[in-house]
Amino acid sequence: MTPCRVHITGASGAGVTTLGRALAQTWAVPAQDTDDYYWQPTDPPFAAKRPVPERLELMERLFLPRPAWVLSGSCLSWGDPLVPFFDAVVLLVLDPATRMARLEAREAARWGAAIAPGGPRHAAHLAFRDWAARYDDPAFTGRSLAVHRRWLATLPCPTLTLDSAAPPAALVAAITAWQQGR
């Protein structure tokens, strides 16, 4: 299979970054994550957004012109200039209860006691968790499954939706089989 420029997107906790890294490793191409461009490097992380023109310029300088890469994350509301670079887009979906359990485990591993009641990141954790839980609400106008599906319908490139309950290796195999069949 010939590696290409693939964007993998979906909800927080759906395994988007994990699949992006696995696919990039399989293809031996760069793995990028939108969070690395969306957020400025801060301590603690995820505290200050990078201005959109800076995000796009940084991406252009670091990887967009390359013939193959995997970009995981979401670029809804700011990434329209990236669309012409996409050879394909993969949307990961996952049962909401499973996704939120994965998200809770990831956040606990990332932040430890800092997100526990009384911890310095507790309020931020609750806000993030509440935001992430709304992904499956069709009335939510932020990053949601409904918004992602509407966006996919506008793309000029092929799209694929996969259930990320499957292990990453099976998802990589599904992308490979899909690409070979196109």
pLDDT confidence tier of residue 110, bands split at 50, 70 and 90: very high
Read off the DSSP letter of residue 51: P
Each residue's pLDDT tens digit, 67-99: 999 999 999 999 999 999 999 999 999 999 999
Strands (E), the chain: 5-10, 31-33, 69-72, 88-93, 159-163
Domain 5-176 has CATH 3.40.47.10: no
Q: What is the pTM of this model?
A: 0.94
Q: What is the pLDDT of residues 36-70, one digit of tens each?
A: 999 999 998 899 999 999 999 999 999 999 999 99
pLDDT of residue 1: 58
Instruction: State residue 181's pLDDT score.
Output: 80
For residue 3, the model assigns a pLDDT of 87
Q: What percent of the chain has pLDDT over 70?
A: 99
Domain ranges within the chain, ordered by starting residue:
5-176
pLDDT digits (tens, 9 = 90+) for 118-168: 999 999 999 999 999 999 999 998 999 999 999 999 999 999 999 999 999
Cis status, amide bond into 44, omega within 30 of 0: yes
Query: Among residues 171, 41, 165, 158, which one has the least CA distance to residue 97?
Result: 165
